[in-house]
Amino acid sequence: MTLILPKQVGSIQRTLTCLNICHKYKIDNKGAPIPNNIFKENIISNVESFDKSTDGALLIKQSEISRYFGLIERPDWGDHQSITEEGELFLKNQHNIEFLSELIIKVLEEGKIKFGRESHAVKSSISNIEPPKLILQSIGVLGFCNHNEIAYILDQTHEKDKYFEEVLDEIKKFRETTNWLQLTQTDFKNKYIERQYHNKFYDIKFINFFIELRILVFNENRYELTKYSQTNYYDRILKLSIYNNLTYRPSIDSKKILESALKLFKYKNSILKRNPEKFGSKSPLKIKQTRDQYSYERDPKVVLWVLNNSKGICECCDKKAPFINKEGKPFLEVHHVKYLASGGSDLITNAVALCPNCHRKIHYSSEEESLRNFLYQKINRLLPE
């Protein structure tokens, strides 16, 4: 897994320059996308620091931030790029900062654009985390983040594969018990980040983009949400899905999945504020275990949501869980109504909390089909697949 972030200028002005170039070519050429060689010529004409000797790849990369946020697209990484509908709106309303910030927040909310993988901006990035959403939500939850904390959050969630809530909990404790906030970048890197990642997460261009959009403000070496963002975007930022559509924490063994979900109960208030419809995957990744056996990646957040939603009551027989487990939670098991092995999704619309008896009954009794239909009729959130 490799997380690559845009490295070029994260300013509104550079974004508008790129959008203008694409828009003008589109108008003059009946909607056609602009070829890369013509885009490079136009960038040289519009940016004083570039000339014909400038590296061609660097010239193309000037549209990275625009492509990162879905304002320009570069289909299949071909030899052309074009302005999107969102890009046209950004260009048309360039003097209205509130409109521009709302537009970018909507881009983050809609989830059509991926940042960690399959991005139009950085082809080689393959990560389950969505950095712009991750950073905004971290700042929202913690109240502020400094440079070191942002680097730590990216390092721990991507490189160390830790739960987001667990990382934020660590930061809160470090703030209370150590001189964490007073550490210089050099001391912080040496103490908390492995050497090979020392410079990877300290120059994040899209943060400047957020600052110019007045979503963030840099104040006394801390990044904070602006007062406008706190009033208009705070709740929406907390609901952003900070992982893309692959499950971010693969867990094959059922016991491990349950353990992961129980661990998340500690952070459930934060997790359950998010849109549960974005938990899990429509097509869980199939993983070969042995020559003839397969398993599927499942999202512990789906398990957490289903168990929490059941309130300790079996969703089939309506009886209380038979006992309390070692973590002090009612013991129920999460069942996928359409089996994953049969192409079922790992979503809350295909998962129920069952007592062990009902769970075994569905799997092994002659009433399997009728019980499945019963669950579809009984539980409104379930969608037949």
pLDDT for position 246: 41
The terminus-to-terminus CA distance of the chain in angstroms comes to: 32
pTM over 0.85: no
- Two structure tokens written together for 357: 């008896």
pLDDT single digits (tens) 168-226: 888 998 998 888 999 999 999 888 888 777 777 888 899 999 999 999 999 989 999 99
How many whole angstroms separate alpha carbon 352 and alpha carbon 354? 6
* Band (163; pLDDT cuts 50, 70, 90): confident
| Least confident range of 63-67, 104-108, 111-115, 258-262 | 258-262
Give residue for tokens 């934060």: 270
342 class by beta-carbon count within 10 Å (0-12 exposed, 13-18 middle, 19+ buried): exposed
What is the average pLDDT value for the chain, to the nearest integer?
86
Task: Report all structural domains of the chain as residue ranges with CATH numbers, in order of start.
Answer: 12-103 (1.10.10.10), 131-238 (1.10.10), 254-378 (no CATH)
pLDDT single digits (tens) 81-101: 999 999 999 999 999 999 999
Q: Which pairing describes strands 72-73 and 351-354: parallel, antiparallel, or unpaired?
A: unpaired
For the chain, strand residue ranges (E) read 34-35, 72-73, 80-83, 216-219, 222-225, 286-288, 294-296, 333-336, 351-354
Q: Is residue 339 within 8 Å of residue 346, measured between CB atoms?
A: no
pLDDT for position 300: 82
How large is the average pLDDT for residues 97-106? 97
How many whole angstroms separate alpha carbon 255 and alpha carbon 251? 9
pLDDT for position 263: 60
How large is the average pLDDT for residues 233-261? 64
- Two structure tokens written together for 9: 């200028």
Please indicate whether residue 377 or residue 255 has the higher confidence score (pLDDT): 377
For the chain, percent of residues with pLDDT exceeding 70: 90
pLDDT single digits (tens) 32-79: 999 999 999 999 999 988 988 999 889 999 999 999 999 999 888 889
How many whole angstroms separate alpha carbon 295 and alpha carbon 312? 27
pLDDT for position 162: 78
pLDDT for position 270: 66
Q: Is residue 150 within 8 Å of residue 189, measured between CB atoms?
A: no
